[in-house]
């Protein structure tokens, strides 16, 4: 397998993204007082930047939106009453919602801010300008809850593959002197999912990363697996493509999954042949692949 051209292409694209971010930091330098006074706006520029890059490469039927997921307790399909014992429920505000608006409707829209039903959600991304210690548990739990809202059925009554979940930052501020940063992050991630009942594989974060620095990725298991493996990559000089490729690969893997689509997934991303992870971080117990 080759794919070297694709790897170089994605590396150039992510380098361009990071350069744009650094230009923003040059013009609007980080000030601690300003940061705390405007926490809600902290990652807005990075959020817009990532959204624009995803829009460039994803199929036109996929929209990059922001807002809420609303799961109404109503009949689905022609006659399914699987939600008859539920109540209407919704997510917290989500930074990026990747949505199949070609096949699914939207409750409410104002620009790119929306309220959408769960069936069309292909991915959910939490974006941070700077990734801090408290973000790992807080965001993984919020994304887990949003993922649970998206447990839906296809026309045959089978479970759809859940949305791809990611936590992305332009820069990591996590700095642990007594342990490796990636080991500490995985420990916090494992604590977040130490719940009863155990989560399904689809409910776990698929990617955590600082785009041009490092990536933590969730390996896809076989259908009978009861554990999810997490691996770590420290980006080398020629590997800035990894972060963007993992995001695109995760979203497209849901979009082209047989549970959602009968179109064959194209060859669009290319990872280095023989490039092993820098570290196997560990396993998280799961109930199974999905529900």
Q: What is the spatial distance between Cα 219 and Cα 234, in angstroms, rounded to a whole number?
A: 16
Q: Are 163 and 124 in contact (CB under 8 A)?
A: yes
Q: Are 172 and 243 in contact (CB under 8 A)?
A: no
For the residues 9-20, what does the mean pLDDT come to? Answer: 85
150-154, 200-204, 224-228, 266-270: which range is least confident on average?
Answer: 266-270
Q: Are 272 and 9 in contact (CB under 8 A)?
A: no
Give the DSSP per-residue string, 76-94.
Answer: BTTTB-TTTT---EEPPPE
Residue 263: phi and psi, rounded to 5, are -85, 140
Sign, CA dihedral 151-155-157-158, equals negative
- Write out the two tokens for 95: 């930074």
Q: Are 182 and 216 in contact (CB under 8 A)?
A: yes
The more confident residue out of 222 and 124 is 124
Q: Are 73 and 86 in contact (CB under 8 A)?
A: yes
pLDDT value at 93 more than 60: yes
Question: Residues near 63 by Cβ (< 8 Å), separated by ≥ 6?
Answer: 98, 99, 101, 112
- Write out the two tokens for 170: 């332009």
Q: Among residues 245, 252, 259, which one has the least CA distance to residue 9?
A: 245
pLDDT value at 43 more than 80: no
Give per-residue pLDDT as tens, 178-213.
789 999 999 999 999 999 999 999 999 999 999 879
């Amino acid at each position: 397998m080759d794919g070297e051209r694709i790897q170089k292409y994605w590396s150039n694209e992510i380098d361009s993204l990071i350069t744009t971010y650094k230009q923003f930091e040059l013009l609007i330098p980080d000030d601690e007082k300003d940061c705390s006074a405007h926490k809600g706006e902290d990652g807005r520029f990075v959020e817009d930047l990532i959204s624009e890059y995803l829009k460039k490469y994803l199929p036109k039927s996929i929209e990059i939106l922001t807002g809420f997921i609303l799961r109404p307790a109503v009949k689905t399909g022609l006659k399914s009453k699987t939600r008859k014992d539920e109540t209407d429920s919704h997510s917290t505000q989500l930074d990026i919602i990747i949505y199949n608006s070609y096949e699914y409707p939207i409750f409410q829209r104002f620009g790119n801010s929306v309220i959408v039903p769960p069936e069309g959600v292909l991915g959910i991304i939490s974006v941070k300008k700077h990734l801090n210690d408290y973000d790992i548990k807080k965001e993984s739990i919020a994304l887990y809850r949003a993922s649970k809202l998206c447990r839906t059925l296809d026309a045959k009554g089978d479970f759809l593959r859940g949305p791809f979940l990611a936590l992305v930052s332009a820069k990591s501020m996590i700095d642990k002197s007594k342990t490796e940063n990636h080991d500490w992050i995985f420990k916090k991630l494992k604590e977040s999912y130490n719940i009863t009942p155990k989560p399904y594989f689809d409910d776990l974060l698929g990617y955590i990363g600082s785009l041009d620095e490092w990536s933590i990725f969730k390996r896809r298991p076989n259908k009978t697996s009861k554990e999810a493996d997490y691996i770590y990559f420290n980006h080398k000089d020629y590997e800035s493509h990894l972060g963007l490729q993992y995001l695109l690969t995760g979203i497209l893997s849901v979009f082209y999954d047989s549970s959602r689509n009968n179109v064959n997934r194209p060859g669009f991303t290319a990872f280095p042949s023989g490039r092993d992870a820098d570290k196997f971080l560990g396993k998280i117990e799961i109930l199974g692949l999905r529900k």
